[in-house]
Amino acid sequence: MRIRLVNPNTTESMTATIGRSAAAVAGPLTLVEAVNPTMGPASIESHYEEALAVPGLLEQVALGELDGVDAYVIACFGDPGLDAAREIARGPVLGIAEAGMHAASMLGRSFGIVTTLDRTVGRARELVQRYGFADVCSSIRACEIPVLELDDPASDARGRVVEECRRVLDTGADAVLLGCAGMADLCHWVSDEIGAPVVDGVAAATVLAESLVRLRLATGKRGEYAFPPAKEMSGLLAPFERGAVAVR
């Protein structure tokens, strides 16, 4: 079984972190590949960057279809391009926010989310509602740490993440979901610090994608998520016309 994790930004060190996090939980017979696009933003902290990350992400999915990939994970907490990727892939596609919320909701009555910048909270709330967790998610808190600072050893980022996780528990949550792919390797450490389950969306999406493949389940293709119709694509994005054709 081959599962491809697509980091939708172009920062390769983050792709490597994501790949390690996924490999640590994947089953013995599963090949996990972490990739990133060759185009787009270095990190995603605004709707503008999220929108511009999507073409490169879709290119990686289209390439995966040529390679016979069985399932995909979109490794950014805004779940960018999820619906479009579901249309062009044969197998299941999961966002890490989606997968993390599903996993966290099975650990008790409610969970909370700790994310990076305050400006990303709106998108997190939108996803909480779309996936059905509005009554289950007790709070969403930002720790005001830019994505790329999470890796900086000189930063007090880890301490601030723990502090916000504790505040989430104070709202009555049974578990905490980390709201950024860049937090993946903090997961077990934070859990030990706060004495409560902590979910990393990257790892959760990896095992849930594996699960769906083992269940022989994939996106339903009779309606909204049927392969897109053939369509003229022009200008800078003309290559995506071929891409779309290729995946069918």
Window 166 to 225, contacts with its own copies (CB under 8 A): 169, 172-175, 188, 191, 195-197, 199-200, 203-204, 207-208, 210-212, 214-225
Indicate whether 25 belongs to the interface with its own copies (CB under 8 A).
yes
Question: Which residues make beta-bridge pairs with 34?
Answer: 5
**Binds its own copies (CB under 8 A): choice among 31, 42, 66, 246:** 42
Q: Which stretch binds its own copies (CB under 8 A): 12-20, 23-31, 151-159, 178-186?
A: 23-31
**Binds its own copies (CB under 8 A): choice among 81, 179, 180, 190:** 81
Residues 225-244 that bind its own copies (CB under 8 A): 225-226, 228-229, 231-240, 244
Indicate whether 84 belongs to the interface with its own copies (CB under 8 A).
yes
What are the start-end ranges of the E strands in 104-218? 111-115, 137-142, 175-179, 198-200
**Binds its own copies (CB under 8 A): choice among 2, 10, 63, 144:** 10
Coil, strand or helix at 35: strand
Residue 221 main-chain phi, psi, to 5 deg: -115, 15
Q: Closest distance between its own copies and the C-beta of residue 248, in Å?
A: 11
Please, are residues 123 and 80 in contact by the beta-carbon 8 Å criterion? Answer: no
Q: Closest distance between its own copies and the C-beta of residue 128, in Å?
A: 9
39 Cβ neighbours under 8 A, 6+ residues apart: 10, 55, 56, 59
Residues 88-147 that bind its own copies (CB under 8 A): 88, 92, 94, 98-99, 102-103, 105-110, 118-123, 125-126, 129-136, 146
Q: Closest distance between its own copies and the C-beta of residue 53, in Å?
A: 9
Residue 67 main-chain phi, psi, to 5 deg: -90, -5
Coil, strand or helix at 3: strand
| Pairing mode of beta strands 31-35, 2-6 | parallel
| Pairing mode of beta strands 71-74, 111-115 | unpaired
Comparing CB distances to its own copies, the nearer of 49 and 157 is 49
The pair of structure tokens assigned to 83 is 């619906």
Q: Closest distance between its own copies and the C-beta of residue 185, in Å?
A: 14
